[in-house]
């Protein structure tokens, strides 16, 4: 592992902390040194008109998703990548993908989306796009087959899931066909959040007060504003606690947003859950984070958070991501170029770890 001592001597990360919206940060010798740093951005989102119609919360949400260019996978996105000097984006369908569709409708929709990405942007801009497969998780067997088809036939690098499916998380035995296939194919599953089930939404995130009827705000509270991060961390811990990685020791999971709160809770989790799982798991709980999880910087362009993540997680398991178009690509790469870390460490995060995990090259 790599701790705070590995950061730049003198000023260090904490002393030069900056957030994602701090665009006036002064260039440094580190930033100048790393202008040629390649990037593989590992959590970058797309949608289609069909997906928006399926999943949008309301008309304002629909308009927002269209305004930010979520469906644009051609010249405009490539130009933004070039401006940020991002070599490769790994694409994923906007949450929750097709997970709400049951039966053959979901299976067909997932196949269409994956083929559209393979024959469209991946073929039109070779080398610039990779992709996670969209899976019809209401049908785990079909999902396993579609994952294998997408990987073997279209060159996809893994799959992305989005929160619960039918009030179940991936640790449920129903999803073992998907987990087993991912392990056999040696491709990761990216754990992206989704909006919670209605009963959870109502209890945790439904706001009631006189004159208040803004349900969209409640969705943000349950989503990117707070709830999503708790959900992914909960699901990650469930995968460990239910013995998923004891049954599938080669299975690899990716968690975004600087660990979805894990670094903050890490010592408490390892100490308290470690004691209680001493006889139920095959190894200490922290070993699962070392062996089965990867973490990305998506949308969290802050030095302090990266420092905390690297205090507990090996630099060999951290990857760069921006969460485009919900975060600005250039702000992300400008931030990371200025981070005061050794060049070798930054290369691992920027592209080398992704090359290793996905078996690709910039």
Chain centroid, CA 295 distance in Å: 8
Handedness of CA 18, 84, 157, 149 (dihedral sign): positive
How much is the pLDDT for 248?
A: 99
Nearest in space to 95 (alpha carbons), one of 137, 129, 125 = 137
Q: Which tokens in the block code for residue 298?
A: 């998506």
From CA 338, how far away is CA 7, in angstroms rounded?
12
Instruction: Report the CATH fold assignment for 35-358.
Output: TIM Barrel (3.20.20)
Nearest in space to 93 (alpha carbons), one of 11, 156, 173 = 156
CB of 88 closer than 8 Å to CB of 61: no
Nearest in space to 93 (alpha carbons), one of 175, 189, 159, 185 = 159
How much is the pLDDT for 21?
A: 45
* Strands across the sheet containing 293-296: 40-46, 88-93, 129-134, 158-162, 189-192, 253-255, 293-296, 318-319
CA distances from 103 to 52, 98, 110, 160, 161 (A): 20, 11, 11, 19, 17
Helical H segments across 205-302, by residue range: 215-222, 227-241, 244-247, 262-268, 274-276, 285-292
From CA 226, how far away is CA 12, in angstroms rounded?
29
CA atoms within 13 A on the CB side of 172: 13
How much is the pLDDT for 24?
A: 47
Regions of the chain short of the pLDDT cut 70: 1-27, 212-213
CB of 320 closer than 8 Å to CB of 351: yes
How much is the pLDDT for 27?
A: 61
From CA 198, how far away is CA 150, in angstroms rounded?
32
From CA 43, how far away is CA 155, in angstroms rounded?
17
How much is the pLDDT for 26?
A: 58
How much is the pLDDT for 25?
A: 52
From CA 300, how far away is CA 225, in angstroms rounded?
13
Task: Spell out where 257-326 has E strands.
Answer: 293-296, 318-319
How much is the pLDDT for 213?
A: 64
How much is the pLDDT for 7?
A: 43
From CA 135, how far away is CA 191, in angstroms rounded?
13
Domain coordinates in residue numbering, the chain: 35-358
């Amino acid at each position: 592992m790599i701790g705070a001592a590995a950061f730049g001597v003198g000023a260090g990360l904490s002393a030069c902390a900056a957030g994602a919206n701090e665009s006036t940060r002064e260039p440094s010798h580190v930033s100048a040194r790393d202008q040629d740093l390649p990037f593989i951005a590992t959590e970058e989102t797309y949608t289609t008109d069909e997906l928006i119609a399926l999943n949008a919360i309301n008309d304002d949400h629909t308009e927002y998703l269209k305004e930010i260019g979520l469906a644009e996978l051609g010249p405009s996105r490539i130009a933004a990548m070039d401006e940020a000097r991002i070599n490769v984006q790994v694409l994923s369908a906007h949450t929750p993908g097709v997970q709400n569709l049951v039966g053959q409708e979901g299976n067909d929709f997932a196949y269409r989306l994956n083929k559209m990405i393979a024959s469209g942007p991946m073929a039109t801009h070779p080398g610039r796009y990779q992709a996670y497969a969209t899976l019809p998780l209401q049908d785990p067997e079909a999902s396993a087959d579609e994952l294998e088809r997408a990987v073997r036939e279209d060159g996809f690098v893994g799959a992305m899931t989005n929160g619960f499916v039918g009030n179940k998380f991936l640790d449920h035995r129903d999803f073992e066909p998907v987990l087993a296939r991912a392990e056999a194919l040696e491709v990761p599953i990216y754990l992206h959040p989704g909006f919670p089930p209605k009963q959870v939404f109502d209890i945790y995130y439904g706001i009631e007060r006189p004159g208040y009827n803004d349900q969209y705000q409640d969705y943000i509270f349950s989503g990117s504003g707070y709830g999503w991060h708790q959900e992914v961390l909960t699901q990650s811990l469930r995968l460990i606690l239910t013995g998923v990685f004891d049954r599938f020791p080669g299975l690899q999971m990716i968690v975004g947003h600087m660990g979805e709160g894990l670094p903050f809770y890490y010592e408490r989790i390892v100490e308290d859950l470690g004691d209680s799982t001493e006889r139920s798991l095959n190894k200490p709980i922290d070993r699962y984070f070392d062996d089965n999880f990867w973490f990305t910087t998506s949308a969290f362009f802050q030095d302090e958070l990266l420092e905390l993540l690297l205090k507990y997680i090996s630099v060999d398991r951290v990857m760069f991501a921006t969460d485009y178009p919900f975060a600005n690509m250039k702000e992300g790469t400008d931030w990371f170029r200025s981070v005061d870390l050794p060049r070798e460490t930054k290369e691992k995060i920027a592209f080398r770890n992704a090359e290793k995990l996905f078996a690709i090259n910039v």
